[in-house]
Structure 1
Amino acid sequence: MMLLRCLCAPGATLRGFIGLFVLATLWSIAGTADILIMPSSLYPVHRYTMRVLAEELVKRGHDSKLSLPSDVHETFWRISSSNPEIRDLYLHRNHSVHSRIWTTDFSDDAERTTAWLASIEMCDQKFTAVIIDDLYNPCGLLLAGLQKTPFIYWSMSALRTESAWAHQSPSPPSYLPVPGSWLTDDLSFLQRYYNFASYFRALFIHQHLILRRIDKLFKKYYGDLLPEAFYIERNASVNFVNTPQIFDFARPYMPRVTFVGGIQCRNATPLTGDLRTFVDESDEENGFVLFTVGFTGQWKFAPKDIIESFVQAFAELPEKRFIWQYNGPNIPNLPSNVYIAEWLPQQNLLESVWHGVPVIGIPLTTAGYDNLLRLTARDVGIFLRKQNLNKESIKDAIREIYNPKYKKEMLTFQDMLVDVPYTELNHSAFWVEFIERHNEVCTNYYYSLLI
């Protein structure tokens, strides 16, 4: 079995609302502990990973103030906006970006986002600890700074240059590729030069453009009550990184960094209904191919020639069965070896490694490209570029991924990933409870805040 996945940067469908925050208030074993979990306002889909941690804390004896079947309460505030760009992007989902994501000149994740959205209601409530998504989350920094609350800074992607800068982990550009540079750790002289320029570009944008604007806004409304956002970032008690330690290229990092990638990984559960019948009809040699574009890929906006290329490629491989997460227009004469559904119990890229499944990736954005690079560098995946997307290239990639070497290398990678004396979920929950009990991690405190 193999997994065919179109890699997309995280995003979300906001049905009837624009801004959201995830509220998980829990009781600790030793006393009352209010834990606030704040996903990025740019990528609210991150809440699905964060919610796994919240549910684990509930299982450890923490009781939710507001109960739901999941024991985690999600609080939503409807944000009205007169900006048609925001409404088209999130509410109506008819923004041009949904069409342009399929073009070869599109790669910028930020084009699918809007400005950050604050929630003043949360500033009136005190929390024992805050877990903040570090992907441009000024609301989280504002709350932690105003309340002087211990917080965990969570990198929901790999360890970005800006994230490493925030917690003082070295990122030597001489051998460590900058996210978004489309490079591996095997660098030529010119590539090192380009990587060096990319490193300073990333830091300049973060330090002198983004943080300066946040500081200006904080200063306008709160005066001298807050230090600079740079110092708030560096005062995180612990920094979570949402990848396993071995997923990225070899790099140095500070003791406060904790790798928690894979907290959502679970053993597969039995399928039911028509999907199970379709899968059971596949033979052992060919298995089946799962084809998904994740949360943000909208097939109804994809060019017809791309859809037709996949349909024709699948039809010319009748010995294989394809399960396609598809929400586009009706496909006439759909091949009998293709099963389509708008939603599937799909796995993300990391879970593909956890289950030992080789990957064909079509990176639609820079984030997808970076993730896939880390797999192709280990010979456990194949690139299928948008620039070369046609019936023949799709067929060639599918035939190639069945080469036993990809499965062998992926099983080796899988074994290294799971061969640890703890689960990432237990590890992350331990650090949250540690912060709640001790209020901080003394070795990680950034003492410039005391000045």
Structure 2
Amino acid sequence: MLANLRNVSSHEVELGKPGKVQELEPSKNPGSETMSGPHGVTWLALSVSLVFVFLGHPPGALGGNILVFPVDGSHWVNMNLLIEGLHARGHQITVVRSSSSWYIKESSPHYRSVSVTVPGGMDVEKQDYFAFLLGNLLEIRKGGSSPLAFASFYRLMLSGLSSLHQQGSSFVADIFENQALMQSLRDGRYDVALVDPGLPIGVLVAHELGLPTVFNVRWITSGEGHFVVAPSPASYVPVSGYVASDQMDFSQRLGNVLMYLLNTAIDRFVVSPHYDRLVEKYFEPGTTFYHLLQGADLWLMRVDFVFEFPRPTMPNIVYIGGFQCKPSEPLPTDLEEFIQSSGEHGFILMSLGTLVKSLPVEATSAIASAFAALPQKVIWKHPGKRPHGLGNNTMLVDWMPQNDLLGHSKIKAFVAHGGTNGLYEAMYHSVPVVGLPLLFDQFENVLRLEVRGAAKVLDVTKISTQSFLEAVQEVLHETSYKSNMTRLSELHRDKPVHPLETALFWTEFVIRNKGAAHLKTDSYKMPWYSYHSLDVIGFLLAVLFTLVTVTLCSLRFLCLRLCRKCKAKQE
């Protein structure tokens, strides 16, 4: 493994053109001459060497070489935190990114980059893609739950999903076909691949390079990550996309099973074929994409069971939910002054995350009018069109230090779309939530807080000034919301080690031990009928049937024989 004793600049690899890594010479100690002995060895260096002899290796001297495959957007926010933490511990990081990436910058003090040019870019990197998707989904939801609206919703979703993964498979193919790039990656002698499997580019490349794999994960190609690595009984484990708690009645369990079958069909016929073709072309016979996905050494699961419903797990799943949370820091002067002007009423924070710029103007205007009727100040992340009816108590910003605002002593409530990062930060800082879920898992996320009494959830397609105002006032004045969130915060914080430290430790564990094969099961390689013991059940039923048949035949034989004897005596 390589010592991380140098600064490494980013480089770009166009198809067929490997980049070069520029290295800087280590800085010299300007005071070394005055402390050097006759042989050029400083007393300071000698002292440090002696300390290391007794105390062990210097920090970072055995740093690992880590290859990272992230996903753009809000996923990158999480991955970047891990990268910064690993870099601070002396590891060398290389990030593989698209040259048109939205969030993942080419240059960084924490990593070098390998930029691959993908014709047309990736949909996940286009800021207007999610605005387009949201606009269509809101129109569909306004139309009710008719079969036509349902079909329109899934046609739009499946088309976008297939397109995204087709682009992802093209990204992998471009990497594999670029022999210079592949040789550069092989020459990098990486110790581990850190992968976000939501777009499983790194899953395939890591297998080709023969690297141990660590997933930074909650979502995979077929939904929530647990469903491919751990037992997931549909009787009490809600399926991805099905908004229900873990206490389901019969109709909900029926719906949960149907959603599971639908997710399985989508993954099998819409997503996986793009990657199955790659596996068939580039890998050894018998390899399947799904097995590569299930075969990761370690799953860093962005889940905390204070937030998530209890469910079965596996020994190679490490839970790091809320690892991005931290104490708040001082705010910029303009924000602090605005908050202090709120007096005893405090302030409300509103954000719809990173993917969606804004709601339709009729919805934002209803929200603005409701905010104007409140005595609290409002800080609203709103880069879209200025809403009508905006009050003097509301400040619109394009960007804000969300964690620091949530940790401020004067905050009273958080109006949020239901992204995982924001909800964990709200829970960490004990801030009750008014939920406005828009896309993807946000509906399930806000439900988890709602059933615990820490959030009030609204349907954004039915929102009005009055309904929004009543919801915010309920969260502000009904003390149970605050007390329930405070209880969740206490449970979330009650850990021996911060989740980020846990994530860093287990990543280094895989590096030190060249994988974690002893923690993962090979059950996914079993045929489905063996996994569910259907062959054993069939065998036992056959044995039982044979025993019953032999017993009945024996009894019948004995009865017939006794009858003949009795008849013979009577004659």
Residues in 2 aligned to 1:412 and 1:159: alpha-carbon distance in whole angstroms: 34
- AA in 1 matched with 2:395: Y
8 Å contact from structure 1 (residues 360, 382) kept in 2: yes
Q: Give the alignment partner of residue 487 of structure 2, picking from 401, 405, 412.
A: 412
Residues in 2 aligned to 1:377 and 1:396: alpha-carbon distance in whole angstroms: 19
Change (3 A) 1:372 1:109: farther
2:204 maps to which residue? Answer: 142
Does 1:421 pair with 2:496? yes
Q: Give the alignment partner of residue 303 of structure 1, picking from 341, 360, 373.
A: 360
TM-score by length of 2: 0.66
Deviation sequence 1:82-125 (CA, Å, 0-9, x none): x9xx6898276697335335445269877487332335166330
Deviation sequence 1:351-377 (CA, Å, 0-9, x none): 110111100010101311011011001
2:260 maps to which residue? Answer: 199
1:36 maps to which residue? Answer: 67
Does 1:328 pair with 2:364? no
Q: Secondary structure at the match of 1:180?
A: coil
Report the more deviating stretch, 419-428 or 240-249. 240-249
8 Å contact from structure 1 (residues 241, 259) kept in 2: yes
Q: How many angstroms does 1:430 deviate by?
A: 0.6
Q: How many angstroms does 1:309 deviate by?
A: 0.5
Report the more deviating stretch, 335-344 or 242-251. 242-251
- AA in 1 matched with 2:79: M
1:72 maps to which residue? Answer: 111
Q: How many angstroms does 1:422 deviate by?
A: 0.3
Gaps (5+ residues) in structure 2? 1-57, 96-105, 142-152, 404-421, 527-571
2:76 maps to which residue? Answer: 47
Question: Counterparts of 1:224-235 in structure 2 under 5 Å?
Answer: 224=284, 227-235=287-295
Residues in 2 aligned to 1:183 and 1:418: alpha-carbon distance in whole angstroms: 26
Question: Counterparts of 1:103-114 in structure 2 under 5 Å?
Answer: 103=139, 105=141, 111=160, 114=164
Q: How many angstroms does 1:446 deviate by?
A: 5.0
Does 1:342 pair with 2:416? no
Q: Give the alignment partner of residue 387 of structure 1, picking from 449, 461, 464.
A: 461
Change (3 A) 1:146 1:87: closer
Residues in 2 aligned to 1:28 and 1:234: alpha-carbon distance in whole angstroms: 34
Q: Is the helix fraction higher in 1 or 2?
A: 2
Residues in 2 aligned to 1:345 and 1:334: alpha-carbon distance in whole angstroms: 22
1:213 maps to which residue? Answer: 274
Q: How many angstroms does 1:447 deviate by?
A: 5.0
Question: Counterparts of 1:77-226 in structure 2 under 5 Å?
Answer: 77-81=116-120, 90=126, 96-97=132-133, 99-103=135-139, 105=141, 111=160, 114=164, 115-116=167-168, 117-118=171-172, 120=175, 123-124=182-183, 125-126=185-186, 127-137=190-200, 139-157=201-219, 163-167=225-229, 169-207=230-268, 209-220=270-281, 222-224=282-284
Q: Give the alignment partner of residue 373 of structure 1, picking from 447, 456, 460.
A: 447
2:87 maps to which residue? Answer: 58
1:293 maps to which residue? Answer: 352
Q: Give the alignment partner of residue 299 of structure 2, picking from 217, 232, 239.
A: 239
Q: How many angstroms does 1:269 deviate by?
A: 0.7
Q: How many angstroms does 1:74 deviate by?
A: 4.3
Q: Secondary structure at the match of 2:202?
A: helix
Q: How many angstroms does 1:241 deviate by?
A: 0.9
Q: Secondary structure at the match of 2:244?
A: coil
Change (3 A) 1:224 1:96: same
8 Å contact from structure 1 (residues 237, 444) kept in 2: yes
Deviation sequence 1:424-445 (CA, Å, 0-9, x none): 1111101111111111113234
- AA in 1 matched with 2:69: M
Instruction: Select the structure with the greater relative contact order (CA < 8 A; seq sep ≥ 6).
Output: 1
Report the more deviating stretch, 210-219 or 307-316. 210-219
What number of residue pairs does the alignment pair up? Answer: 413
Specify the structure having the higher radius of gyration (Cα).
2
Does 1:312 pair with 2:369? yes
- AA in 2 matched with 1:192: R
Q: How many angstroms does 1:204 deviate by?
A: 3.3
Q: Secondary structure at the match of 2:441?
A: helix
8 Å contact from structure 2 (residues 280, 287) kept in 1: no
Deviation sequence 1:245-270 (CA, Å, 0-9, x none): 32111111111111111121111111
What is the Cα-based RMSD across aligned positions, in Å?
3.1
Identity percentage of aligned residues = 25
Residues in 1 aligned to 2:435 and 2:130: alpha-carbon distance in whole angstroms: 26
